[in-house]
Amino acid sequence: MKSTVQKNSQTGVAVVHTRTLAGAEKCLPLPGAELGSEHEAREEQSTMTDYKTNLRVKLPATCIVLEVIIIILFATLVEYDHDTDAKHWHEEMSKHNKSNYENEFYFRYPSFQDVHVMIFIGFGFLMTFLQRYGFSSVGFNFLIAAFSLQWATLMQGFFHGMSEGNGKIHIGVESMINADFCTGSVLISFGAVLGKTSPVQLLVMAVFEVALFAINEFILLSALGARDAGGSMTIHTFGAYFGLMVARVLYRPHLDKSKDKNSSVYHSDLFAMIGTIYLWMFWPSFNSAVTAHGDDQHRTAMNTYYSLAACTLATYGFSALVSPEGKLDMVHIQNAALAGGVAVGTAGEMMLTPFGSMIVGFLAGTISTLGFKYLSPVLEEKLRIQDTCGVHNLHGMPGVLGAIVGAITAAAATREIYGEGMEDVFPDVHSNNITASMQGVRQAISLAVTLGIALLGGLIVGFILKLPIYGSPPDTICFEDGIYWEVPGEEGAHEEMTTVAVEDVEKPLNG
């Protein structure tokens, strides 16, 4: 009894250094361990303020230099497009007898805002499930997204826009949506390396990934003439496999030193649900944001709506099924329930039919849930891929599924079904340049190209990111805000108290 009290206060003294102690204790429940971990604690303490992770010079330099470069490039290359430029729009109105409500803004802006919410709230909060990494999840998501959308405007504009001639990049609401899409891809990769990277490292990753995304997107949509409005291939497959390869190269054999922080607490799981629900609700807007006007946007949104609904039931069903106690797992709900949106990213604009969408969503939810349960452990142990958020299950496999579904649905397209609407969905088939099955082949090739560029690109960028110059965290304090953020004391402290509490009381039970 008395000893408990001593332990209590002693532990109290120790744990305040760092949260890892409690975890360490759990592994080695010996008195000696305490000293060991107290020692370890001090060491980490020093690491905390170590020059290696001090970003006082690196982060400001990176942010400011990148922004200055972007501003210069915008000044020289970027112009308002015809719907945003005061002079041109008014000329267009008088010339083509247009009215203001024909401005692209009214067709796309509501969808843009929904996509915007997915990028900043959806992705940002989805990653707050980690108990001590909420600031970084939302905060780094915010930083790299704000950078990527500017950089993407230039990279995508360079490949797509430039072709339009006069050597300028013309921007408007559609380019804003595409920039957000490209950003989404970077955030997917972020999910794979979450907790193990410094903000500088993430910005450097974004610099390269955005460029590679733009190249891949250009090859698929312009060169190969593939269709991928919702980005099953360009966004999800690319982002996932690029990120997984980076995670592979950045593999940390001793990451288990931080494993007690690589988990959620009650409130952090609720914050994550904010991200999940927003992604789920607005996915119909995501997939339909850049499809053709009229029936295309309408149909794409509806197909996605039903795919997600079916996906959710599959996720709940299989989540309970794979649990011995039949209990639901937040990890599945937070992620697998979204796979239905990923899987109709390509076929959503096609005449997939509502029940077709449901079947795709149901399959996506199933493979995603099973992936979390059975595949992720294998990836980590055998392939040495430490996929923090399980992006392989949410974006990787469902993205590939979506690409395949897209290829099949395209190959099955007939004028009988699409009528004059064929022109919007498959212009080359409509103009008899190619057959529908050829369009299906294009889609299949596009998947292969995407996988190739993503894996190769991730490999190269992974090695660039491995350089010891970005202030990435040591194995002992990954998944920890304290290393890059001023973290308020109390909450941190009370987490200690609770961890301590757990052991004090567990002992008598175990004993």
Q: Please give the residues from 259 up to 278 whose contact with a second copy meets the rule CB under 8 A.
A: 263-267, 269-271, 273-274, 277-278
DSSP 405-427: HHHHHHHT--HHHHGGGHHHH-H
**Would you put residue 434 in left (φ > 0), alpha (ψ -120 to 50) or beta?**
beta
Q: Report the candidate in 437, 18, 474 with the shortest Cα–Cα distance to residue 253.
A: 474
- Tell whether residue 408 is a contact of a second copy (CB under 8 A): no
Among 33, 146, 224, 383, binds a second copy (CB under 8 A): 146
- Tell whether residue 333 is a contact of a second copy (CB under 8 A): yes
Q: For the window 214-253, what string marks contact with a second copy as x by the rule CB under 8 A?
A: ----------------------------------------
**HSE value, Cβ hemisphere, 13 Å, CA-based, for 417:** 13
- Tell whether residue 487 is a contact of a second copy (CB under 8 A): yes
Stretch that binds a second copy, among 121-129, 373-381, 388-396, 456-464 (CB under 8 A): 121-129
- Tell whether residue 102 is a contact of a second copy (CB under 8 A): yes
∠ Cα 373 374 378 (to 5°): 125
Among 96, 163, 253, 420, binds a second copy (CB under 8 A): 420
Q: Are 121 and 275 in contact (CB under 8 A)?
A: yes
What tokens were used for 342? 């990923």
Among 47, 54, 376, 437, binds a second copy (CB under 8 A): 54
- Tell whether residue 138 is a contact of a second copy (CB under 8 A): yes
Coil, strand or helix at 71: helix
SS (H, E, C) 368-388: HHHHHHHHHHHHHHCCCCCCC
Among 164, 256, 475, 506, binds a second copy (CB under 8 A): 506
- Tell whether residue 424 is a contact of a second copy (CB under 8 A): yes
Q: Longest C-alpha distance within the chain, in Å?
A: 90
| Alpha-carbon dihedral angle through residues 218, 223, 229, 235, given to the nearest 10 degrees | -40
Among 28, 223, 378, 417, binds a second copy (CB under 8 A): 417
- Tell whether residue 323 is a contact of a second copy (CB under 8 A): yes
Query: Hey, which residues between 334 and 353 contact a second copy (CB under 8 A)?
Result: 337, 351, 353
Q: For the window 159-198, what string marks contact with a second copy as x by the rule CB under 8 A?
A: ------------xxx--x----------------------
- Tell whether residue 297 is a contact of a second copy (CB under 8 A): yes
How far, in whole angstroms, is CA 359 from its chain's centroid? 24
Q: Report the candidate in 445, 464, 404, 457 with the shortest Cα–Cα distance to residue 238.
A: 457
Query: Hey, which residues between 277 and 296 contact a second copy (CB under 8 A)?
Result: 277-278, 280-282, 284-285, 293-296
Q: Report the candidate in 484, 426, 385 with the shortest Cα–Cα distance to residue 56.
A: 484
The single-letter code of the amino acid at 284 is P
- Tell whether residue 71 is a contact of a second copy (CB under 8 A): yes
- Tell whether residue 301 is a contact of a second copy (CB under 8 A): yes
- Tell whether residue 94 is a contact of a second copy (CB under 8 A): yes
Query: Hey, which residues between 354 and 383 contact a second copy (CB under 8 A)?
Result: 354-355, 358-359, 362
What tokens were used for 372? 């979390």
